[in-house]
C-alpha cells in the first residue's frame, strides 16, 4: 500500500508462475499517490505536496523539490494526467499543474464542498476528466472548464434518479454510474 510512512516498491522482475515476481524496496522514498505526466513520475507526499522524477524513482535524491498544492491542510486524493497537465484531486477540488508545477484550482465553484472522497477515482476519458465529487459528477475539459454531468441533468423530466455517485467508469461511448 502507498503511504507517507511506507517506502515505495519497484517491480523489477516479472516471472512465470509459480515463481514469484521480484520487487525492490526504495530507501526513504514514500508516496501517497502516483501519477505519470510528460515522461515524469509524480508522487504526492505529506498531505498536500507533490514532486517528480525522471530517473531512478527509488532513489530519494532523484525527486524534485516538493511543492505544496492549494491549502496545505487539505489532503490530495488522486493524480491523473490529461494532455500536458497533471491534475491533482484534493478534498476541496481539482487543481492543474504544468511541468513547472504552477498549480491552479480549476474547479473553484466547488471549493467549499470539502469531502474525503472528492476526486477519488477520477479518470481521463474522451479528452476530458471525469471527476467524482460530493457535489456530483463533473466533466472537466482542459484547460479550465468544468460542468456537472449528474444523472438528473441528463433527463428532461423530474427524474427520481438522484444521489451521490459512488462508482463510475466509461467504456466506448457509454458512461456507467452506481449511486
Low-confidence ranges of the chain (pLDDT < 50): 1
**Structure confidence by residue, pLDDT tens digits, 59-110:** 999 999 899 999 999 999 999 999 888 999 999 999 998 667 778 899 988 8
Res 1: pLDDT: 46
Res 84: pLDDT: 83
CB 85 within 8 A of CB 142: yes
- At residue 11, the 3 state secondary structure works out as strand
Res 152: pLDDT: 52
Amino acid at each position: 500500500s502507498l503511504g507517507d510512512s511506507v517506502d515505495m516498491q519497484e517491480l523489477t522482475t516479472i516471472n512465470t508462475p509459480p515463481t514469484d515476481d521480484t520487487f525492490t524496496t526504495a530507501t526513504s522514498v514514500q508516496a501517497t499517490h502516483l501519477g505519470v505526466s510528460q515522461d515524469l513520475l509524480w508522487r504526492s507526499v505529506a498531505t498536500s505536496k507533490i514532486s517528480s522524477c525522471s530517473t531512478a524513482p527509488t532513489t530519494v535524491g532523484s525527486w524534485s523539490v516538493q511543492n505544496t498544492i492549494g491549502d496545505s491542510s487539505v489532503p490530495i486524493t488522486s493524480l491523473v494526467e490529461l494532455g500536458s497537465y497533471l491534475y491533482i484531486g484534493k478534498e476541496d477540488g481539482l487543481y492543474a499543474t504544468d511541468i513547472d508545477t504552477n498549480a491552479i484550482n480549476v474547479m473553484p465553484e466547488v471549493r467549499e464542498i470539502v469531502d474525503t472522497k472528492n476526486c477519488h477515482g477520477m479518470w481521463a476519458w474522451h479528452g476530458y476528466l471525469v471527476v467524482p465529487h460530493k457535489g456530483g459528477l463533473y466533466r472537466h475539459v482542459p484547460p479550465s472548464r468544468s460542468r456537472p454531468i449528474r444523472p438528473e441533468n441528463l433527463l428532461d423530466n423530474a427524474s427520481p434518479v438522484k444521489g451521490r455517485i459512488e462508482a463510475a467508469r466509461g467504456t466506448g461511448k457509454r458512461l456507467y454510474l452506481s449511486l
